Amino acid sequence: MSTVGRKLSVAGVRRPPTGRRPGAIVAAADPGAEGAKITRPAEVAPESSSGDLRAPDLVGLSPAPAVAGLIDHAVRMGASDLFFSCCENHVAVSVRHLGIVRLITVLTIEHGRRCTSYVKAMAGMDLAEQRRPLDGRWVREDDTFVFGDDAGAGSDAAAAPAVDHDDDDTGIDPDEPEVEWPELRRPGPVRTGAGRVDLRVSTIPTLHGEDMAIRLLLGTPEVTSLDQLGMSPRELGAFRAMLGIAGGLIVVCGPTGSGKTTTLYAGLRYLNTGERKIHTIEDPVEYAIPGLRQSQVNLKAEVGFPELLRSVLRQAPDVILIGEIRDAITAEIAIRAANSGHLVLASLHAPSAPGAVQSLLGLGVNPYFLSGALQGIVAQRLVRTLCPSCKGSFELDEMPRTFEEVSDSLEPGEGRALFGATGCPACLGTGYSGRTGVFEVMKMNRDLRGLIAASRPTAELREAAARTGLLDLRRAALLLVARGCTTAEEVLRAIPPEDLGLDG
């Protein structure tokens, strides 16, 4: 294992992340560095990191304002999901924030049940059904909701209720004893304005009651552009070159939640100039994007990826996006389409770029046709990025070789310090304020095509790709650490050691 690989593993595995000590990564790797100089932004007090992930106080609120408060809180903190989990004596309410589940409040069983019933009612779900999993959708067009003593008093605080419906009876089990829910009673005003939120609601019966998961999709999101993905210039150039080819297959791979869809849409945005006919096949269509023809898989109507793909090909598209290649037939049609002059973009569950070739061959595709169709593979993961307001730095004067492995890719001034998460109000005390992709971009060349056509093992593909300068996931992650975008701890949290090549 390389020096830096060892440092990464030592920092993250043998010592628990400290969160508040920027020097901890190096200190863990080198005890001699304990007393070294740590620089922290002056305005951030070390103890200010409690942050505020907690939801506003909901005690005494009826379901409509309570749910509005929770949704608005989740939206404002940038959460992707809101969860109600039934426990023995309470209902835990949590969010997924930057990919991590965090508890935001705890409700009594009764209060929690009223809130979930209210959401079910708004999402058009069967209130009486609690023993079967259900799905629903609620588009919430809220502008402003004002809690507290001045609710309705302010001029612009017309306090349009979070929803138009009268909530008094919604979702209340008729068999339950009548409980009086006081009207808005809060210590102070809280004004929220989450705007249009599309909520995809699903419930499932669990040991202690009905759990609810709510996916939060915001109004009309800006599709990420290629240069916002977080690729380094060389990788970005390779990805652009793949997209510039008239026909072929481009695969984006990684586990669920690794940002594959964002990358694919950034690719489509780049291609969506109005001069190409672009069709997408998605499961489900999450956002409508002008200029694209978007179709959705409907398994109930027996319209899956293969059926839709065959039909889309009759629509004379130039570019086709396949939400996911999961079966042999889809893989085969995709490769045939790519070999007949269409540009096909697809996502795939595979750990690495060389591993994706093996996954496709595992689906039974013809290696010769695959080698001809494939233009390139992007493997990716997501890591949280350090909060610019509070990140601390640790000078690496005594360890100049820390980032030697990626020194070729560093700009002058980069790689001289390690940065660490601190926590401030701006980042809700987490030390991280966003996420970025870690990319492995493997563009095809003659060597790689030959190896694929001969069904050679992944290790040989990896070696051949390395000879062309492939920045693998581990070095791509190391580069982000060297640039101060993220921490070694975060890399080890987000990417399993075997995917970083650290298990040897």
Number of residues that bind Zn ion (CB under 5 A): 6
3-state DSSP call for residue 503?
A: coil
Instruction: Round to whole Å and give the CA distance between 305 and 257.
Output: 20
- Closest distance to Zn ion from the beta carbon of 428 (Å): 8
- Please name the residue that has the structure tokens 């096909």: 344
- Closest distance to Zn ion from the beta carbon of 192 (Å): 22
Instruction: Round to whole Å and give the CA distance between 93 and 100.
Output: 14
- Closest distance to Zn ion from the beta carbon of 386 (Å): 8
Closest among 328, 232, 322 to 278, alpha carbons compared: 322
- CA-based Rg of the chain, rounded to a whole angstrom? 25
Does 454 bind Zn ion (CB under 5 A)? Our answer is no
Structure tokens at 214: 């709510």
Closest to Zn ion by CB, 104 or 390? 390
Structure tokens at 341: 């002059």
- Beta-sheet strands, E only, within 132-270: 134-142, 145-146, 191-192, 195-206, 209-218, 248-253
Instruction: Round to whole Å and give the CA distance between 450 and 468.
Output: 15
Does 386 bind Zn ion (CB under 5 A)? Our answer is no
Closest to Zn ion by CB, 239 or 419? 419
Interface pick for Zn ion out of 107, 214, 335, 390 (rule CB under 5 A): 390
What DSSP string runs through 79-103?
Answer: -SEEEEEE-SS-EEEEEEETTEEEE
Does 389 bind Zn ion (CB under 5 A)? Our answer is yes
- Closest distance to Zn ion from the beta carbon of 98 (Å): 12
Closest to Zn ion by CB, 44 or 373? 44
Interface pick for Zn ion out of 387, 461, 478, 481 (rule CB under 5 A): 387
- Closest distance to Zn ion from the beta carbon of 230 (Å): 19
What DSSP element (H or E) covers 91? Answer: strand 91-97
Closest to Zn ion by CB, 170 or 486? 486
Closest to Zn ion by CB, 418 or 427? 427
CB neighbour burial string for 36-46, b if at least 16 within 10 angstroms, e if fewer = bebebeeebee
Closest to Zn ion by CB, 118 or 419? 419
From 86-94, 124-132, 385-393, 496-504, give the range in contact with Zn ion by CB under 5 A. 385-393
In 340-422, which ranges are continuous DSSP H helix? 353-362, 367-373
Closest to Zn ion by CB, 390 or 464? 390
From 49-57, 79-87, 263-271, 386-394, give the range in contact with Zn ion by CB under 5 A. 386-394
Site for Zn ion in 418-437 (CB under 5 A): 424, 426-427
Closest to Zn ion by CB, 48 or 455? 48
Instruction: Round to whole Å and give the CA distance between 96 and 470.
Output: 33
Strand partners, 94: 83, 103
Give the CB-nearest residue to Zn ion.
387
Binding stretches for Zn ion (CB under 5 A): 387, 389-390, 424, 426-427
